[in-house]
Amino acid sequence: MDDAETAVDDEPKQDRTPLLIPEDQYLSSGVHIGTQQKSADMKQFLFKVRSDGLYMLDFKKTDERIRVATQFLTQYEPENVLVVSARQYGQKPVRTFAKTIGMKYFAGRFVPGSLTNPRLPDYIEPKMLLVTDPSADQQAVREALNINIPIVGLCDANNETKNIDLVIPTNNKGRRSLATVYWLLTREYLKAKETIAKDEDFNLTIEDFEATL
């Protein structure tokens, strides 16, 4: 370990399960780059803190949770899943992910009451919610709690996770990071549903998910 870096916890244990993508691809996408603040909830997903104060997320746990989230998502019909991103860099990944699979989505401002007020034109009744950032998407989280549906959340080092049923630890603010995570979720979902047989059958690229500047 670099002298300029301090361990947050024990180093991650070696896992014999191959990663979904090569380690250097995770690192170059920045999925592990956290924030300068950390929540107690996210401590278990942190690897170390850099000399500039940024907390590093354990990308192996990101990989593991993408697998778990995929299996969780496949328990629901696509049209019963709502995917949300108020964050600008999450909007294209969310749209591409949801459209490819056939899920409902809000990319941009979440209209208050969308899950709780049947009088609204955009009212929907999902059975599961996936949020890009529990903080930025807090209105959707509140309404999902109100109607008692499970919530999957992409969570950064500073996120509170008490209302999230399944955490995917990742940099949820970066363009490339969000594109990579949603690209992987899409690929793994299609494989789990046997829409494609292997990785090579997936014809979308990470760039197809990446927001433009």
In a domain, 125, yes or no: yes
Average pLDDT over residues 158-168: 96
* Residue 213 binned pLDDT confidence (cut-offs 50, 70, 90): confident
Check: CB of residue 141 under 8 Å from CB of residue 134. yes
pLDDT recorded at residue 125 = 97
Residue 135, in any domain of the structure? yes
Q: What is the mean pLDDT of residues 125-135?
A: 98
Residue 1 lies inside a defined structural domain of this protein: no
Would residue 129 count as lying in a domain?
yes
- The answer to whether residue 116 sits within a structural domain is yes
**55-57 and 46-49 beta bridge pairing:** antiparallel
Q: What is the extent of the structural domain holding 83?
A: 6-209
- The confidence score (pLDDT) of residue 46 equals 95
Segment 179-193 shows an average pLDDT of 97
Domain count, the chain: 1
pTM of the model: 0.91
Q: Is residue 61 part of a domain?
A: yes
Q: What is the pLDDT of residue 5?
A: 43
Q: What is the CATH number of the domain that holds 202?
A: 3.40.50.10490
How many CB atoms within 10 Å of residue 186? 22
Residue-wise pLDDT tens digits, 46-91: 989 998 999 999 999 999 999 999 999 999 999 999 999 999 999 9
- pLDDT tier for residue 110 given thresholds of 50, 70 and 90: very high
In a domain, 203, yes or no: yes
Residue 143 lies in a domain: yes
Q: Taking 60 as the threshold, does the pLDDT of residue 15 lie above it?
A: no
